[in-house]
Structure 1
Amino acid sequence: MITELRHFFERHGFYVCSRLADKLGMRATNVRLFFIYISFVTAGLGFGLYLTMAFVIRLKDLIRGKRSSVFDL
């Protein structure tokens, strides 16, 4: 059952890449590799943005001193 499901998705999923490659006049393997590389790049950009924002927030907390109570004004 699992192999039938896998073959179904491979047959229909790869058909999208094959048809797009035919329209663009490219090889289907190059289109598949492009989609794989783009997925890694977009995941990496999100993670890099997360780390940058965490660094900026941490830096802001270090620069701006926190007050322990209202009476420290």
Structure 2
Amino acid sequence: MNWMHQLRYFFEKYGFEVSSRFAERLGMKAKNVRLFFIYVSFATFGAWFAVYLTLALLLQLKDLIYTKRSSVYDL
């Protein structure tokens, strides 16, 4: 049971917050976006899970490239 909690904690911490960031952009609740990904993943046999992972990767890359710096000396 302990490994299940560790796995859940890992995905909650390092999940890149794809659903919440996508929901914020669309003006929706993150719960609804998560449910959409879950239902569509079951309906399409996991193809939307690949879309979710792709969105997570793109958001992570965007955060790495477009970091906000407060001054020119932060380089």
> Could you state the TM-score of these two structures normalised by the residue count of structure 1?
0.49
Larger helix share, 1 or 2: 1
> Could you state the TM-score of these two structures normalised by the residue count of structure 2?
0.48
